[in-house]
Amino acid sequence: MNDLSLATLEKGRAVVSGAAIDALALGFRGALLTPDDPAYDETRAIWNGMIDKRPGIIFRCLGAADVIAAVKFARENKLLVSIRGGGHGIAGNAVCDGGVVIDLSQMRSVRVDQQARRARVEPGALLSDVDKETAAFGLALPTGINSTTGIAGLTLGGGFGWLTRKFGLTIDNLLSVDVVTADGQLLRASQEEHADLFWALRGGGGNFGVVTSFEFQLNELNPQVLAGLVVHSFDDAENILRDYREALEAAPDELTCWVVMRHAPPLPFLPTEWHGKKILVLAMCYAGDVEEGKKATARLRGIGRPIADVVGPAPFAAWQQAFDPLLTPGARNYWKSQDFAALSDGAIDVLRQAVGKLPGPECEIFIGHVGGRAGRIAQDATAFPQRKSHFVMNVHARWREQSMDNPCIGWARELFEATKPHAIGTAYINFMPFDEGDRVQAAYGSNYRHLVEIKQRYDPLNLFRMNQNITPSTGTRAA
């Protein structure tokens, strides 16, 4: 291999000899990809089509030994390094320009221990991989709502979805991890071993190392749940949202109901005259007995005069994929997010006005309700800070043409600013885009100081900075 000029941590360049890279490749199980390799462009592409970065070298790992070698290579040469799991992160930190990408996407094993109700999951696995293996045994792990999301990024940021109210966040079901730290050591972190590191990894993102294996506690779940959509005209949004928030006050932990506001896609169950018109969707899932679910969802399904109600029994793994067609890779995406303690009248008014100005047919506003079991865990039990029952707003700008960048990003930012008076200041780091590094401290609230201390202990060089970065006290923040 030829010599490579690679980006460094301090924004310079370092020349690494081809001989050194060849020597490294001899003991590497996976592949080392440079810009002239046929698989390079495919490997550097990620879910968010806005991100077009060109790494200097990609370490396509097949196991922990490969990850150790890649981390040591980056550290010894003080190179800029990013970590790619599923490549779904909105901020695009899975890849970097000119530096090293540690690509875990080929490490997708999911092994279920049915008797212990545990799963050992590699970091390249997608949620669909986890769902398929766990559902075969009547078990489930609470994760997100898009099956093409990677388990690693979702878990390290906290992880919430349809089962969170019943079983907690993804991190609340995490038992241990194998993690390669910045000094190239492979450690096992759990409540008993390296407990401080384990605390930080549960919500602290990719700041503390490269996880090569997750061990999860699984939960019994009937493969058949009650789930589906109730679609309304957006014209009655104010009344629907008020009734929605009131209905949730008595909702059992098994019931999750979220709101989506957007232009109607051409869904087969919607009358064609509604295609392209503004709608408000109540998306719900009851993780329990289907007959009990019919009673629990009755109030929500009785709100207003729906255009369509397609709530019914469904395999949970299939429901997990229901939104996949609207979130395919390649489109340009930009998100802004807020946490609300309550869905106030003021917030509802701001949301209604924003939907009136949707800049494109794929743009939407999503409101998720988090609470239940996840809300009964102490704020300082994990790095993930926002444990009280709350609503998460995600302003999802999505479009295809680069010429629409300014209108779509501007719409998302305008709505974000307008909702600030109604928000509580914390944020879900997995929903934060590339330009929100200044929100990190507020996102973690009172947990931030302890995260800095742990970062200083395990990564004082800030090798792992391509993330929503927690800067060590002696380190340098990423630009």
- In this structure, is residue 425 part of a structural domain? yes
- In this structure, is residue 459 part of a structural domain? no
Residue 460 burial (CB < 10 Å; 0-12/13-18/19+)?
middle
- In this structure, is residue 465 part of a structural domain? no
- Residue 150 belongs to a domain with what CATH number? 3.30.465.10
- In this structure, is residue 453 part of a structural domain? no
- In this structure, is residue 216 part of a structural domain? yes
Query: Do 237 and 372 fall within a single domain?
Result: yes
Query: Do 67 and 37 fall within a single domain?
Result: yes
Task: Write out the two tokens for 305.
Answer: 């005069």
C-alpha distances (whole Å) from 137 to each of 141, 143, 222 are 12, 17, 9
Residue 180: per-residue pLDDT: 98
Query: Do 88 and 235 fall within a single domain?
Result: no
- How many CB atoms are closer than 10 A to CB 216? 27
Separation CA 89–CA 67 (nearest Å):
20
Residue 478: per-residue pLDDT: 55
Query: Do 282 and 431 fall within a single domain?
Result: yes
Separation CA 244–CA 314 (nearest Å):
23
- In 3D space, the residue among 326, 325, 404 whose CA is nearest the CA of residue 358 turns out to be 404
Q: Which of 174, 199, 221 is the last residue of a domain?
A: 221
Q: What are phi and psi of 14, to 5 degrees?
A: -130, 135
C-alpha distances (whole Å) from 473 to each of 112, 419, 451, 455 are 40, 32, 11, 8
- pLDDT values of the chain reduced to their tens digit, one per residue, 479 residues: 889 999 999 999 999 999 999 999 999 999 999 999 999 999 999 999 999 999 999 999 999 999 999 999 999 999 999 999 999 999 999 999 999 999 999 999 999 999 999 999 999 999 999 999 999 999 999 999 999 999 999 999 999 999 999 999 999 999 999 999 999 999 999 999 999 999 999 999 999 999 999 999 999 998 899 999 999 999 999 999 999 999 999 999 999 999 999 999 999 999 999 999 999 999 999 999 999 999 999 999 999 999 999 999 999 999 999 999 999 999 999 999 999 999 999 999 999 999 999 999 999 999 999 999 999 999 999 999 999 989 999 999 999 999 999 999 999 999 999 999 999 999 999 999 999 999 999 999 999 999 999 999 999 999 999 999 999 987 555 55
Query: Do 270 and 164 fall within a single domain?
Result: no
Query: Do 117 and 215 fall within a single domain?
Result: yes
DSSP state of 97: S
Helix ranges (DSSP H) in 298-373: 298-301, 316-319, 345-355
Separation CA 428–CA 449 (nearest Å):
17
Angle among Cα 165, 294, 247 to the nearest 5 degrees reads 55
Query: Do 170 and 246 fall within a single domain?
Result: no
Query: Do 291 and 407 fall within a single domain?
Result: yes
- The bridge status of strand 390-399 relative to strand 332-340 is antiparallel
For 179, the 3-state DSSP assignment is strand
Query: Do 43 and 171 fall within a single domain?
Result: no
Task: Write out the two tokens for 335.
Answer: 């998100």
Q: What are phi and psi of 388, to 5 degrees?
A: -70, 150
Residue 475: per-residue pLDDT: 56
Query: Domain total for the chain?
Result: 3
Q: Which of 187, 221, 255 is the last residue of a domain?
A: 221
Q: Which of 183, 203, 221 is the last residue of a domain?
A: 221
- Residue 393 belongs to a domain with what CATH number? 3.40.462.20
Separation CA 210–CA 364 (nearest Å):
33
DSSP state of 341: S
- In this structure, is residue 470 part of a structural domain? no
Query: Do 207 and 265 fall within a single domain?
Result: no
Residue 474: per-residue pLDDT: 72
DSSP string, 293-351: HHHHTHHHHTSS--SEE--EEEEHHHHTTTTGGGS-TTSEEEEEEEEESS--HHHHHHH
- In this structure, is residue 170 part of a structural domain? yes
Contacts (Cβ under 8 Å, ≥6 apart) of 371? 165, 388, 389, 390
Helix ranges (DSSP H) in 56-97: 64-76
Residue 312: per-residue pLDDT: 98
Q: Note down the domain range covering 355.
A: 224-437
Query: Do 278 and 365 fall within a single domain?
Result: yes
- Residue 61 belongs to a domain with what CATH number? 3.30.43.10
- In 3D space, the residue among 45, 52, 44 whose CA is nearest the CA of residue 405 turns out to be 52
For 71, the 3-state DSSP assignment is helix
- In this structure, is residue 463 part of a structural domain? no
For 156, the 3-state DSSP assignment is helix
C-alpha distances (whole Å) from 157 to each of 40, 63, 72, 115 are 28, 22, 25, 28
Task: Write out the two tokens for 85.
Answer: 């799991």
Task: Write out the two tokens for 291.
Answer: 């007959």
Query: Do 210 and 123 fall within a single domain?
Result: yes
